[in-house]
Structure 1
Amino acid sequence: MPLWGIDLGGTKIEGVILESASDTKVISRLRIDTEADQGYEHILDRIVLLVQKLSAESGLTPATLGIGTPGTLDPITQTLKNSNTTCMNGKPFKKDLEAKLGFPIALANDANCFALAEARLGAAKRVMPDAEVVFGVIMGTGVGGGLVVHGKVINGRQGNGGEWGHIFLDESGGPCYCGQTGCVETVIAGPSLQRYYESISGKKATLKEIVKSYEAGNDPHAQATIKRLLEMFGKGISVIINIIDPDIIVMGGGVSNIDLLYTEGIAEASKHIFNTKLDTIFLKAELGDSAGVFGAAMLVG
């Protein structure tokens, strides 16, 4: 049975139809603009339009589809929360969209869709196809995560399963937009690292420039910034390892491209785990910008 997936972003909505859960050949794949500035109802209508376009191109009609969203559907209130597309927060998104489409949908946040895709189709599938527990890490503008157990997303009681970006890491991260202080995101997200570098050097620099200066060995402030990243990453990810003990951690997002995370970062994590040896496998994500929409399709397959 073909699987339908929608990846809802703040600027674009992408849809895909895959042949089946076992054959991920793409039947159809389209993108349209979200046009989020026109409001909540308009976003719903844009999703409906994309489904219609996919149906017209493929000649198929969906009975259900999976959707990856910014933010999370609260399992108790059945309203969306924590979305950076703020007009969606507090709205019964699943119920409203099902009413417009006329069929049931499955929903998960974008980090969970990333984790699911990498577990069932990407890096984790390639290295350990029978992995029981896969944790997906996104480190970029923000820090997010997704948890997949036996090929299924774990959303949790409050819909926050896998959200390691908002566990406490270090007071020095300062206030977080979530209302807490010192979250993982405030310490090791890309913009957070750039702010730290500026605070100690008095100069602005992109993360790429900081990494380049670190590698050149001629900037003590770059050295301090990357050392902070590696140490804090190790502390933060060790909490995940100690609690859920994943077989594999798959890492995506711009910060995850820093190769030192897979050597010195892992070495830092090993200092804080409840085991004599760190056997968790760390992998770079392989699916790129396909992860979100493929993972959404996997929600129903």
Structure 2
Amino acid sequence: MAPTLRFGIDLGGTKIELIALDAGGREILRRRVPTPQDDYLATIAAVAALVHQAEAELGQAGSIGVGTPGAISPASGLMKNCNSTCLNGRPLQEDLERALNRNVRLANDADCFALSEAVDGAAAGADTVFGVILGTGVGGGVVVRGHLLRGANAIAGEWGHSPLPYFQFAHAQADRALTGQHPATGEAILHPWP
């Protein structure tokens, strides 16, 4: 029998947040901890601890879905393009499954957001949805007629690393190409560039 409890985990660059949903999709628990910085094994341990604590508190196990910045390479199964750089080149899904002793569904956080909005959120019923995330980094996901557009490299919709020619011209003192990440991340909003 499949578990009726579902855990959704947002594994971000600054925080890891868990939400538990009952069989009816109602939130019954929410917990948040800081993301260990630059420490892959500590990040795996923090996710596992959140799940184990939630299961102890609720008295039952559940299925697990994780959204994280970056993508799983279709070629290697390893993480790539993560703003939490300690995840890059690592078998995150495999390591989470080992730590939690069950299957874990892992996907790009912006893809999760866009698909959720397209299915039963603010964009429900729309033919095409472009979902945008602003946080430690920036990201995007595209849903067309109810289907997630992943692309050959699993990064369709990821606009954060697209060059911004006007922004580059306006800030000519930059020593490298500027992208969507530069003016739009949480850090950039808190500390604007001159």
d(CA) in 1 for partners of 2:71, 2:7: 20
Runs of 4+ deviating beyond 4 Å: 139-142
Q: Tell me, yes or no, if the aligned pair for 1:65 and 1:104 is still in contact at 8 Å.
A: yes
d(CA) in 2 for partners of 1:183, 1:163: 11
How far the C-alpha of 1:81 sits from its partner, in A, is 1.3
How far the C-alpha of 1:168 sits from its partner, in A, is 3.8
Structure (1 or 2) with the greater helix fraction: 1
Cα gap change, 1:66/1:60 in structure 2, threshold over 3 Å: closer, same or farther? same
How far the C-alpha of 1:101 sits from its partner, in A, is 1.6
How far the C-alpha of 1:120 sits from its partner, in A, is 3.2
Task: Trace 1:59-70 onto structure 2 (pairs within 5 A).
Answer: 59-62=59-62, 64-70=63-69
How far the C-alpha of 1:87 sits from its partner, in A, is 1.4
d(CA) in 1 for partners of 2:37, 2:146: 32
d(CA) in 1 for partners of 2:34, 2:99: 19
How far the C-alpha of 1:123 sits from its partner, in A, is 1.9
Secondary structure at 1:99's aligned position in 2?
helix
Match of 1:91 in 2: 90
d(CA) in 2 for partners of 1:13, 1:140: 13
Q: CA RMSD in A?
A: 2.8
Offset from partner CA, 1:142-177 (integer Å, 9 cap, x none): 5421122444433332120211223344164279xx
Secondary structure at 1:36's aligned position in 2?
coil
Offset from partner CA, 1:210-243 (integer Å, 9 cap, x none): xxxxxxxxxxxxxxxxxxxxxxxxxxxxxxxxxx
The letter for the 1-side match of 2:58 is S
Aligned residues: 183
Match of 2:42 in 1: 42
Cα gap change, 1:169/1:150 in structure 2, threshold over 3 Å: closer, same or farther? same
Q: Tell me, yes or no, if the aligned pair for 2:8 and 2:19 is still in contact at 8 Å.
A: yes
Secondary structure at 1:17's aligned position in 2?
strand
Match of 1:17 in 2: 20
d(CA) in 2 for partners of 1:140, 1:14: 14
How far the C-alpha of 1:27 sits from its partner, in A, is 2.2
Match of 1:117 in 2: 116
Is residue 161 of structure 2 the alignment partner of residue 166 of structure 1?
A: yes
Offset from partner CA, 1:218-271 (integer Å, 9 cap, x none): xxxxxxxxxxxxxxxxxxxxxxxxxxxxxxxxxxxxxxxxxxxxxxxxxxxxxx
Cα gap change, 1:14/1:184 in structure 2, threshold over 3 Å: closer, same or farther? closer
- TM (normalized to structure 2)? 0.79
d(CA) in 1 for partners of 2:98, 2:80: 20
Is residue 138 of structure 2 the alignment partner of residue 137 of structure 1?
A: no
Q: Tell me, yes or no, if the aligned pair for 1:10 and 1:34 is still in contact at 8 Å.
A: yes
- TM (normalized to structure 1)? 0.53
d(CA) in 1 for partners of 2:132, 2:19: 23
How far the C-alpha of 1:137 sits from its partner, in A, is 1.9
d(CA) in 2 for partners of 1:65, 1:148: 22
Secondary structure at 1:166's aligned position in 2?
coil
The letter for the 2-side match of 1:10 is G
Q: Tell me, yes or no, if the aligned pair for 1:170 and 1:184 is still in contact at 8 Å.
A: no
Match of 2:27 in 1: 26
Cα gap change, 1:29/1:153 in structure 2, threshold over 3 Å: closer, same or farther? farther
